[in-house]
Structure 1
Amino acid sequence: MAVALAAGLGLGGWAGPAMADTAAPTASEAEIVVIARKREERLSDVPIAITAINTASLAKMGANDLSGVQGAVPNVNIVQGRGSSSSANFYIRGIGQPDALGTFDPAVGVYVDGVYLARIQGALLNLFDVERVEVLRGPQGTLYGKNTIGGAVNVVSRKPDLTRLKGEGALSYGDYNETTAKGYVSAPIVSDVMALSVAGIYDHRDGLVTDPRNGRLYNDRDNTSVRAILRIKPSDKLDIQISGDFTHQRTAPTLGYLTAPLLQTNFLGYVTTLAPADPYGPYSYRASSSLGADKGQRLNHWGLSGTINYELSPAVTLVSVTAWRKLRTDFYVDIDGTQYQVGDVFVGQRQRQFSQELQLKYNSAKLKGVFGLYYMNEQVDSHQEAYANDLFAFGTTPITFTRYIDDAQNTKSYAAFGQATYEFTPALSLTAGLRYTKEIKHYDRCTVTASNLGALNGIAYCFPQNLPAPYTGNDRASFDAWTPTVTLSYKPTGDTLLYASAARGFKSGGFNGRVNSNGDISVTRSGVTTIYPSFAPEKVWTYEAGAKGSFANNRVMLSGAVFYSDYRDFQARVGNGTNVGLGGSFPVLNAGKLRIWGIEFEAMVRPVQGLTLSASVGYLNAKYLQFDDPRRTAAGGGAAAFSCNPTGSAITCQPAFAPPLTLRLGADYRFAVGADTTLTLGGELRHVGKQWLSVDNRDGLKEPGYFLGNLYAQIDFDQRYYLRGAVKNVTNTLYRTDGQEFSSVGNIQTVYYGDPRTWTVTVGMKF
């Protein structure tokens, strides 16, 4: 179903970008169905701020992965995570977690066919066989629960067709030798009973960043992904879906660009500048690395899941979702982005998870509900190496330094939940839900150093047993929370909706995965040092009111919402600390309170046949009410001069990844150019306002705001074949997407940039 993106990109899923199908809306297009509340509903009936984007619209946007919608959805930040070609940095309404270490949980949950992905590595999913992507804004603490304090991204795959053979394929070529091949086929094995679908993608692009010293290329793409789904429906009461997927990635490292002088500490008492800020001048996709040609990034990601829907009665359905996933990554990351070995690391991670969810769905004329149980067991083991042979010197003598780290974390998560909607009248309904979540975490870590300086060589530290210093911490921690939600909705007409809601979100606490000394887990206040072996959960209450409606036979669609969030105990990874250990210290603080409020509005208008105009705007006002940062008490200033603590001080501090304005304007026009042949011309303008790219608001780690323009043209033949040309970032705008702040290690402060202007040509067909 070629659902227009005009009916997908917006609060409530109404507004539409330029890449929408501009034909007059059909009845089926008006009936967009989502599963945001774990049951199928018309998008127009869901009292949630939700975006629904279908596969055809994603293709027209040129979105090979989830980062392709960056800037198109109000108050949503979805970009490639720092230093990795496959990690995802998700922020929704100013709430997120960019750190990729296995001990930090994401704040935006990513789900594939109802299965939660526990790590942000591999979460920047290739979008090659999806029916749609649903982006739910605001805490989804009842039905989704685990780590959805900011929102949820729900990826829905296409189900195999039980009755007919169908498929599609596309081949693209573009700038930087971009070569992408996609294919999908669905075939019935036993008509009306069993069907199988297989989809795959090969996605390659040469590196965007060149090292001027040797011509090596970085920031490339090289991914192959496949997914197979077997659907069995032996009767009208039973529907079984078994899915398997595999992703294989082999790329060069992803390099950022240095924005502050890179420093070397000399043990004779002075500091040497190794590299200046902007070492190659204004950024022009040039950067250097000390990593060898064989030091790239490797990812293998497997998944197997089974979903059973069994109708116990006309009103009651039992659903079981069982899943196993395995992730293996071997990433070399050059954090400083220079030829010096100051912030070079290897992270080898082995992650596996098992999850089981049971749902009981009830559906009657007046009452509809979902009740269930959830369990997940996740094991994350990692081996890390940090190379810093240029970080220290003793006079003119270089000091070698390598840190070796082995750690492991096990997480068990349990939940019971229920949510029900009661219709007082056909127009007025009340939804209430409650979830109880309990998580138990066990963490072990050991680290040892190797150096040609005896004083640095062999320093060992194990968590929870601190060697050689005394330590009284605990390697186990448990966290639990009740997360309720309540929504009152009113439909003045069948095509309009008003709603008001309150929801609580929760993100589990955990252990600092950078515990190299007591400075990473200790806080000193008024001369008293306290050890915190773990950090506490985050919590948020969000209050929202919204409206959505369609008019003039779906030719005008409007939506809007206002929201207010009380966000507490947010987990901030900051630099330095009160007791700076060897090679820097990285405490994690439950820093304080934020107040976040905003407005979202979207509109789509089809004034004449074939023409679609769309607009969306998001305003976000995020402010710290408290940032309890003990670094402000550090003697003699130093690190304190850069600390993020507006409480009782004149230091300016703003939440990261919270641009005050996101804006999008789009238009496209589709018209006939011959028998069974149409031409579509489209364009859009996106704006993302100023935002900080790290918790510590360093001047170099911010994006001052940018505009991006995208254009495309597509000609369709006989509704089966098409030829599309697209240009992204037509003005070749330089814009920053993420940042690395490890200022306590050689003053490392690097930023990552989005793609330059690129073009692609695609030929495709479907049957």
Structure 2
Amino acid sequence: MTSMWKAALLAGAAWGAAAVAVSAQEAPAPSATLSVDEVVVTARRREENLKDVPVAVSAFSGETLARQGGADITILQQTTPNITVQTARGSNSTLISYIRGIGQQDPLWGYEPGVGLYVDDVYVYRPQGAVLDVFDVERIEVLRGPQGTLYGRNTIGGAIKYVTKRLGDEAHGKIKGTYGSYNQTDLLLSGQTPVGGGLSVGGAYAVYKRDGYGKNLTTGAEHYNKDVQAIRLSAEYAPNEDLFFRLAYDKVQDDSNPRHGHRELPALVGGYKVLDIYDTQAGLGDDNSVETEGVSLTGQWDASENLTLKSITASRKGHTTTVIDFDGTPLPTLDIPATYDDRSFSQELQAVYSDENVQGVFGLYYMNSQASGEFDTIAGNLGLAIANGGKVSTQSFAAFFDFSANLSERLKVSMGARATRDHKRSNSYRFFYLGATRTPYQGGTPRPILQTRTNYSTDGSFNQFTPRLSASYELSDDLSTYVSYSKGFKSGGWDMRGDALITPQTVNGYKPEVVDAYEAGLKGYALDRRVSFASAIFLSKYKDQQVSTQVVVPSGIASSIDNAGAATMYGAEFEAKAKLSANLSANVAVGYIHAKYDTFSRFVPGGAPNPLNPSTTVPAGGQVINVADLYGLQNTPEWTGNVSLTWTADVAGGLLAVTPMVSYRDSYQQFELPLPLLDQKAFTLVDLTAIWTAPGGHYKLALTGKNLTDERYRTGGYNFGVPTYNNSVIGFYGPPRTVSASLEVAF
């Protein structure tokens, strides 16, 4: 099956190459009914046709996402080449993102993500609550490769832009109800109206309810359920053609039960093993709450025909209270109650200039943020509870520009750069307490500290200059090519789990990681504009990669974040949309990446097994070992692919659109170290959506089937498979087969 899939993906790329060859020939004017639509994106902070942007960008309209059955932002994993976008381990709303092998799956406070998430150009600072549901969205853009010039410090892998709809000056509303498998019951209410004098107001409220895919066999609670509410309010004011202001507020409340995962091995004590992958026997409890909210004010002034000034002011905050039972049994072997808090304020100023020969943007950016938290590690077999906590405060300053100039009618060059300075203050503590119950920090019985393992405060600055250069050439009116170089970086910091007795170097922190990326692309239209396509080849040199490692040692778990890795990644991507007939269209996406560590220097604590010779142990004091040949990049399948067709027809006076979609992900590792019990083999997902729109567009009926072949696949895991922690190897799984029906009424 895998070989057949790879052959199909290569065939899709070959079809694209053939289309390019045909497009170079003289052809008659395209038929409007058989032409694909032009796509406008804001990847470079200004509106441009997708064909003219020298960046690998995927763009999905709200209509496209609906036809693909996309309920939340994780649909991008199925439709976009070389990308991982999924829900984090143990959570329903924490986002894990990787693009071209670069990202971050550890959502601990103080640890920066590797892919930037933006809602209407506002940076979402923390991954908690960032699994955004798709409602009232105009489009989602995915920018692959480092975006350090225009988007900044934590876009080393790329950026995801969530663009909501503007209100406009017409009143309308919408009610949408959905019912489906596992008692899924969703409701969406939205509406907007002009008030007068250029002022419009609008809002949307959504509630998502669903029973669990499984059960907690210890407590009887639902497992993998959903209980989310979301609200978005906005006001827009346009007193004249040159001024525009938008005030927006959003809030997400996720009260879904925690996901404790599935025990992949039987317990050494008690013999616990759950048969169904969605069930658990966790005994820690089912209390979980994730709340995030933000407010932003955007102002735009068209100062002249060529110059636009823009201001984006935003404030966001979040609070999480959760529990994760890492051992998946009623025993308190490895129980983790945790609390996270974050808040941020940002201000961005932009000046956008455009004339016939020069286009560009200059900007200033400031962010002040704080992220803090505390979690207990209740280690029953050791008779201990470990309190870990701390806070990281960040002030980030940046100045950036990106300009393009036409050197001739068809040749254009672009140059950009960003200078960033992060100043961070951090404090961290790690205390041991006797007794396998919650510590005083998590509401447990007050008792004295048995041993102080870590307790320090520090600060530091991280400065980086990230340039970007590109040249693009229009081979014809319908075809353009480009080459580019860009640099990205992710800020440094300190390990909030660090144990200074086992790894004394933890107080020194870790450096920023950087990537130098080279890319060449070919974009445009083919076959009389019946096909639009974008292709790219890339090479990335990844240095000082921050790697989070947790190793079981006699006194507990030793955590370290080291600049362990240097890697080389190269690959290719191809996307195409085709109008095959007046009633049939197709989408194809193919991604290939070869990712390999050049070096991987891992600090192994004294007494731990030597990874190069497991029959021996590391000498006292620890040792740095290069394990590049043993390790691989996580969440980076070699091949990804997607094929979908949309057939439309007039039915009962309305329009019926039927979209089958097949997506493929090659095998991939959950962690840098291969773990056969947790690593995921290649799998294929099959979806089908049918939407009927009544005459006039006032009613819509939709039937959506997801994962119709009921594929079982892991999205994450934890590995503590040693006697100390009762053989705890835990897997987390993607959704099973589901079917839902919805009715939408617009007025």
With normalisation by structure 2, the TM-score equals: 0.89
Measure how far apart 1:313 and its partner are: 2.1
Measure how far apart 1:678 and its partner are: 2.3
- Give me the identity figure in percent: 32
SS in 2 for 1:606: strand
Amino acid at match of 2:537: V
Instruction: Flag the 1:452–1:501 CA change in 2: closer, same or farther, 3 A.
Output: closer
Please tell me whether residue 274 in structure 1 is matched to residue 269 in structure 2.
Answer: yes
Matches of 1:446 and 1:205 in 2, distance apart? Answer: 38
Amino acid at match of 1:486: L
Aligned residue among 552, 564, 569 for 2:544: 569
- The residue number in structure 2 matching 1:451 is 434
Matches of 2:360 and 2:571 in 1, distance apart? Answer: 30
Measure how far apart 1:301 and its partner are: 1.2
- The residue number in structure 2 matching 1:396 is none
Please tell me whether residue 507 in structure 1 is matched to residue 501 in structure 2.
Answer: no
The CA deviation string for residues 620-664 of structure 1, in whole angstroms up to 9 with x for no partner, is 100000001132986764796399x99876953211111001011
- The residue number in structure 2 matching 1:699 is 676
Aligned residue among 559, 572, 586 for 1:586: 559
Q: Is the 8 A contact 1:257 1:336 kept in 2?
A: no
Q: Is the 8 A contact 2:648 2:657 kept in 1?
A: yes
Amino acid at match of 1:678: L
SS in 2 for 1:121: coil
Aligned residue among 399, 404, 409 for 1:421: 404
Instruction: Flag the 1:224–1:636 CA change in 2: closer, same or farther, 3 A.
Output: closer
SS in 2 for 1:667: strand
Matches of 1:624 and 1:410 in 2, distance apart? Answer: 32
Amino acid at match of 1:233: A
Amino acid at match of 2:602: D
- The residue number in structure 1 matching 2:24 is none
SS in 1 for 2:405: strand
Matches of 1:63 and 1:457 in 2, distance apart? Answer: 51
Please tell me whether residue 730 in structure 1 is matched to residue 725 in structure 2.
Answer: no
Q: Is the 8 A contact 1:421 1:432 kept in 2?
A: yes
Measure how far apart 1:143 and its partner are: 0.4
Matches of 1:640 and 1:723 in 2, distance apart? Answer: 61
Computed over aligned residues only, the root mean square deviation of the Cα atoms, in angstroms, reads 2.7
Instruction: Flag the 1:521–1:91 CA change in 2: closer, same or farther, 3 A.
Output: farther
Measure how far apart 1:183 and its partner are: 2.2
SS in 2 for 1:44: helix
The CA deviation string for residues 469-520 of structure 1, in whole angstroms up to 9 with x for no partner, is xxxxx61121111000011111122322211111001000111010234324
Q: Is the 8 A contact 2:34 2:581 kept in 1?
A: no
- The residue number in structure 1 matching 2:502 is 519
Q: Is the 8 A contact 2:67 2:659 kept in 1?
A: no
Amino acid at match of 2:128: Q
Aligned residue among 663, 679, 691 for 1:686: 663
Measure how far apart 1:743 and its partner are: 5.4
Amino acid at match of 1:713: A
Instruction: Flag the 1:337–1:319 CA change in 2: closer, same or farther, 3 A.
Output: same
- The residue number in structure 2 matching 1:485 is 468
Instruction: Flag the 1:380–1:284 CA change in 2: closer, same or farther, 3 A.
Output: closer
- The residue number in structure 1 matching 2:444 is none
Deviates more, 1:456-465 or 1:103-112: 456-465
SS in 1 for 2:63: helix
Deviates more, 1:210-219 or 1:504-513: 210-219
Measure how far apart 1:361 and its partner are: 1.1
Matches of 1:230 and 1:421 in 2, distance apart? Answer: 34
Please tell me whether residue 335 in structure 1 is matched to residue 326 in structure 2.
Answer: yes
SS in 1 for 2:398: strand
Aligned residue among 200, 203, 207 for 2:208: 203
Amino acid at match of 2:708: V
Please tell me whether residue 71 in structure 1 is matched to residue 49 in structure 2.
Answer: no
Aligned residue among 217, 221, 224 for 1:219: 224
Measure how far apart 1:388 and its partner are: 2.4
- The residue number in structure 1 matching 2:336 is 345
Matches of 2:44 and 2:402 in 1, distance apart? Answer: 9
Gapped regions of structure 1 (runs ≥ 5): 1-9, 16-23, 263-272, 393-398, 466-473, 523-530
Matches of 1:99 and 1:419 in 2, distance apart? Answer: 32
Q: Is the 8 A contact 2:153 2:488 kept in 1?
A: no
SS in 1 for 2:476: coil
Matches of 2:517 and 2:687 in 1, distance apart? Answer: 34
Matches of 2:326 and 2:470 in 1, distance apart? Answer: 45
Amino acid at match of 1:57: T
Amino acid at match of 1:274: V
Matches of 2:682 and 2:561 in 1, distance apart? Answer: 28
Amino acid at match of 1:428: L
Matches of 2:214 and 2:448 in 1, distance apart? Answer: 36
Please tell me whether residue 715 in structure 1 is matched to residue 708 in structure 2.
Answer: no
Amino acid at match of 1:241: R
Measure how far apart 1:260 and its partner are: 4.4
Matches of 1:27 and 1:189 in 2, distance apart? Answer: 40
Aligned residue among 373, 385, 398 for 1:402: 385
- The residue number in structure 1 matching 2:45 is 38
With normalisation by structure 1, the TM-score equals: 0.87
The CA deviation string for residues 563-618 of structure 1, in whole angstroms up to 9 with x for no partner, is 000001111111228xx473210111111210001111123322211111232211
Please tell me whether residue 605 in structure 1 is matched to residue 578 in structure 2.
Answer: yes
SS in 2 for 1:570: strand
Matches of 2:270 and 2:473 in 1, distance apart? Answer: 61
Measure how far apart 1:550 and its partner are: 1.4
- The residue number in structure 1 matching 2:309 is 318
Matches of 1:673 and 1:603 in 2, distance apart? Answer: 28
Q: Is the 8 A contact 1:657 1:692 kept in 2?
A: yes
Amino acid at match of 2:665: V
Matches of 1:484 and 1:343 in 2, distance apart? Answer: 45
Runs of 4+ in 1 over 6 A off after TM superposition: 24-29, 645-650
Matches of 2:245 and 2:264 in 1, distance apart? Answer: 53
Q: Is the 8 A contact 2:36 2:530 kept in 1?
A: no
SS in 1 for 2:559: coil
Matches of 2:521 and 2:597 in 1, distance apart? Answer: 25
Measure how far apart 1:331 and its partner are: 1.3
SS in 1 for 2:66: helix
Instruction: Flag the 1:650–1:479 CA change in 2: closer, same or farther, 3 A.
Output: closer
Measure how far apart 1:244 and its partner are: 0.8
Deviates more, 1:329-338 or 1:136-145: 329-338
Matches of 2:409 and 2:174 in 1, distance apart? Answer: 41
Amino acid at match of 1:321: I
Amino acid at match of 1:610: N
Amino acid at match of 1:81: A
The CA deviation string for residues 327-347 of structure 1, in whole angstroms up to 9 with x for no partner, is 111111222333332222122
Amino acid at match of 2:52: D
Q: Is the 8 A contact 1:210 1:286 kept in 2?
A: yes
Measure how far apart 1:206 and its partner are: 0.9
- Give 1:16-95 correspondences, 5 Å limit: 30-95=37-102
Instruction: Flag the 1:63–1:626 CA change in 2: closer, same or farther, 3 A.
Output: same
Aligned residue among 256, 260, 281 for 1:255: 260
Amino acid at match of 2:193: A
Instruction: Flag the 1:452–1:617 CA change in 2: closer, same or farther, 3 A.
Output: closer
- The residue number in structure 1 matching 2:440 is none
